[in-house]
Amino acid sequence: MLKFLIRASIAIPLLLIAAIAGTLAFTAPKTPPAIAAVEKANDPFAAYARALPTYRYFTARDGTRLAYHYYPGKPGGGVAVVVHGSSGTSLAVHGLATAYAASGITVYAPDLRGHGMSPGPNGRLGDVVYRGQYEDDLADLADLIQREHPGEKRLLVGHSMGGAVILRTAASRYAGNFNGYLALAPFIAPNTPMDRPGEGGWTVVSVPRIVVLSILNGFGISALDHLNVLAMAVPPNAQHRPRFYTHALLSSSNLQRQWKAQLAAIHAPTRVLIGANDELFHAEAYPPAFKAVNPAIPVTVLPGQGHMTLMFDTKALAAETDAAVEMLK
C-alpha cells in the first residue's frame, strides 16, 4: 500500500503537468477569415494614412517609448486621449481626432503597447509586459498631458476594445486622472446579452488556454501569460497590426470577470455611444445592461451606425464630438 501511495503521489502530478502542457501546446487559436464589418473601413483608413501627423513618443514608467499622434486644439477646449480598438492603431481614430481638434479639443491618440509603433516585450506585437499595464501606460500619458496642458480638463475616449480599456481605467485607482470617460461601442464581456458569438466573427478564442492560464495565475504563476489566446480576423498583409493577443494583453484590455461590479464602481462622468447596427455587439442590450449595473452611465444608440462607421461616418463623428465637447465643459 505504501509503495502504491508513493507511486500515486508521483504519477498524479506528472499527469497534471502533462495535461496542462498538452492543453497549452495544442489549443492555439487560429486566425478567422476577414469580416465585412471591419473591412468596410479599409478605404477611409487608407485616406487617413495619407494625412496622419508625425509620430511623437513618451517614455512609460518601465522605460519603454510609446508612440502617439498629437492634434492641437485651442486653449480652454480640453484634452482628449482617444484609444483605438483591437488590432488597431492610432490610424483608426484619425477621423475622430481631427473632428475633435476642429472643435477646439486637443487630442493625444496613442498606439497602445503591443500595437503599431508601440511594440510589446522584445518588439512583439499583441503582447504586454504584465497584466494591467494599460492602466499604468495611460496614467503615464496623463502625467505628460498635465505637464503640457496644466489646468485643462481631460477626457478619456475609447472605441471597441479601447472602450473596455477606458472603462477599466474609470474603475481603477487612476480614475482621477481624467474628468470624464466616453466609451464608443465598448466590448463588455463574453457570453452576455451584449456579445455576439465571436464578436460577429472578428475573434477566435482559445478557451482551454485561458482556463489553464487563469488557474496558473491563481497560484501566482504568470510566466506563461505570453502565450497567444485570441486570434483576430486581420489580413496577413496588414502592417503593424497584431493578429493574435497573448493572455497578458487580453487580461489588460478586457473588463474583469466581475464586470458588473467593475462598472458599478465607476463614479466619474461616463457615457456610452454605440451604433444601432453594430455587427460585433447587440446594441439594443446595452441600455438595459448599464441601467441595471450603473444607471449614472447613459447609453446613446446612434441610428444607422455600425461598429466601424463610428470611426469615419460624418454623422457619427458629429455625435461623438458633441458628446466630448459637452463632457469637457
Domain range summary for the chain, segments of one domain joined by +: 29-327
CA distances 54 to 47, 112, 285, 311, Å, are 15, 16, 39, 20
Residue with cell 499595464: 133
- If pLDDT is split at 50, 70 and 90, which confidence band does 239 have? confident
Find the mean pLDDT for residues 138-157. 98
Q: pLDDT exceeding 90 applies to what percent of the chain?
A: 88
Chain mean position to CA 211: 21
CA dist 248 and 189 (Å) reads 17
CB 263 within 8 A of CB 255: yes
pLDDT of 80 over the 50 cut: yes
Q: Looking only at Cα atoms, what is the longest distance across the chain?
A: 81
pLDDT of 4 over the 70 cut: no
pTM of the predicted protein model: 0.93
pLDDT of 23 over the 80 cut: no
CA angle 148, 154, 158 (to 5 degrees): 115
Residue pLDDT, tens place only, 257-302? 899 999 999 999 999 999 999 999 999 999 999 999 999 999 999 9
The secondary structure of 155-206 as a DSSP string is: EEEEETHHHHHHHHHHTSTTGGG-SEEEEES----TTSTTBPTHHHHTEEE-
User: What pLDDT score was predicted for residue 20?
Assistant: 80
CA dist 70 and 55 (Å) reads 8
User: What pLDDT score was predicted for residue 262?
Assistant: 97
Q: What is the DSSP letter of 92?
A: G
Closest CA to 249 of 161, 185, 190, 173: 161
User: What pLDDT score was predicted for residue 11?
Assistant: 47
Q: What is the DSSP letter of 34?
A: P
User: What pLDDT score was predicted for residue 216?
Assistant: 96
CB 309 within 8 A of CB 278: no
**Cell triple for 113:** 503597447
Q: Which residue has the higher pLDDT, 252 or 23?
A: 252
CB 125 within 8 A of CB 85: no
- CATH number of this structure's domain 29-327: 3.40.50.1820
pLDDT of 13 over the 90 cut: no
User: Hey, how many other C-beta atoms are within 10 angstroms of the C-beta on 6?
Assistant: 10
The average confidence (pLDDT) of the chain is 94
What SS3 class is residue 272? strand
Beta strands in the chain (DSSP E): 56-59, 65-71, 79-83, 106-110, 154-159, 180-184, 203-205, 228-232, 244-246, 270-275, 299-302
CA dist 137 and 139 (Å) reads 5
**Cell triple for 78:** 480640453
pLDDT of 7 over the 70 cut: no
Q: What is the DSSP letter of 227?
A: S
pLDDT of 8 over the 70 cut: no
CB 168 within 8 A of CB 198: no
pLDDT of 14 over the 60 cut: no
How many angstroms separate the first and last alpha carbons of the chain?
A: 77
CA dist 301 and 284 (Å) reads 8
Residue with cell 497560484: 219
Residue pLDDT, tens place only, 109-140? 999 999 999 999 999 999 999 999 999 999 99
